[in-house]
Amino acid sequence: MKTIEMTVIVDESRKLILQLPNGISPGLHQVVLVIDEQPQANDSIDSENIDAAFAEMVNDSEYQIEARQIESEFAVIETQRKAI
């Protein structure tokens, strides 16, 4: 079990997008989320900043490669799970 602590942005639709460190292997993992009930004060967070940060992350070539690998591995795991 590995503990990763980070500050994240929860958008208006309550979605949370995480970029995990390279040390986390692609595949199916159990994740436990512990969240403060009150958001941290930060007046600079708005939907434009969230959208810009997300666009920067999604356009990163390393992110795209890792996302495709994870999707591929998850598809294999799902196929194996359904076969059981």
Q: What is the pLDDT along the chain (84 residues), one digit of tens a residue?
A: 788 888 777 878 888 888 888 888 888 888 888 888 777 766 555 666 777 777 777 777 777 787 788 888 878 888 888 887
pTM (whole model) above 0.85? no
If phi > 0 it is left, if psi is from -120 to 50 it is alpha, else beta; for residue 57 that is alpha
The domain of 81 spans 1-84
Q: Which residue has the tokens 């495709």?
A: 68
Please calculate the CA angle 71-76-23 and round it to the nearest 5 degrees: 55
Count structural domains, the chain: 1
